[in-house]
Amino acid sequence: MGRRISYREALREGLREALQADPRVFLMGEDVGFYGGTYAVSKGLLEEFGPERIRDTPLSELAFVGAGVGAALGGMRPIVEIMTVNFSLLALDPIVNTAAMLRHMSGGQFSVPLVIRMATGAGRQVAAQHSNSFENWYAHVPGLRVLAPATVTDARGMLTLALADPDPVLIFEHAQLYNSEGELNDTDVVDLCSAQVRRTGTEVSLITYGGCLPKALEAAETLAGQGISVEVIDLRVLRPLDDASIMASVRKCRRAVVVSEGWRSGSMAAEVIARISEQAFFDLDAPLARVCSEEVPIPYPRHLEEAALPQAHKIVAAVQALLGHTP
């Protein structure tokens, strides 16, 4: 049996283990030190490791992400924390034009072993400029590895593997997961290349990641009570996508619903649906479906925010429609 901890605690354990294991590792970002992190992930690490390795930075994502790229090129193993994915847009140049491209542009002479962590997603009433899900934008870029851990085991275990990668890795932590709890199981397989089956089923493949995983599991439980068997796939790695695991589930269930908190247009859900259409079209017994955020800036009022986001009841309705069931 594993021990029960929070997602936040799992991330902190991963950070502590990485800092203890390699003197080249350091954490930098806004409020990561004295304040203990905006989401309290790095709380206590400044006292344990000191200001050389837990570095508070000025309020400039462009500057401190660029410094992280330079440190990685100089032989260090920086972990850069960006407060929210919305603010990462200020650092698109060092992430996309430098970190992702430098191995290619140097003919393999240089690599950028940089890990960037950032909160993503909505559901906390912090309004439009703090609530988006842009991970699919980064998953579009060759040269980046993009992770979306949804369980405490992945939250702790993926960081060590990301630091061992010679190329840049982006880790998206859904803000609504920080307080969630789960069983930390040291026997679970953690890697940076495969999706995971979180619930087995036979009638519909429900494909999702990150903060939508708990909603998908809730929907699957509701549907099980209606006699509908749903398989839940946690993508967990958004680039490179694990096509083999996706297609294996789709070929078994012959129907699929993809759930993503990004906006419907140009979403990760759209990419997964396109790949299923390309690789498993003749295995389908029904059209593909998706549940995404509404095409609006994320509202501030709670009732409107909840209405704009994927929810378990919306996922249930999508599966029922696919099977021709009436609510």
Which sequence positions are flagged as catalytic? 61, 130
Measured CA to CA, the distance from residue 301 to residue 295 in angstroms comes to 16
Q: Structure tokens of 114?
A: 């940089």
Reading the block at residue 263, the tokens are 């906006």
Half-sphere exposure (Cβ direction) of 167: Cα atoms closer than 13 Å: 17
The one-letter code for the residue type at 207 is: I
First to last CA, the chain: 38
Give φ, ψ of 218 to 5 degrees.
Answer: -65, -45
Q: Are 114 and 169 in contact (CB under 8 A)?
A: yes
Contact 168, 192 (CB under 8 A): no
CA angle, corner 238, sides to 237 and 242, nearest 5? 65
Helix/strand/coil for 47: helix
Q: What does the block give as tokens for 324? A: 């021709």
Distance CA 178, CA 124 (A): 12
Contact indicator for 149, 178 with CB cutoff of 8 Å: no
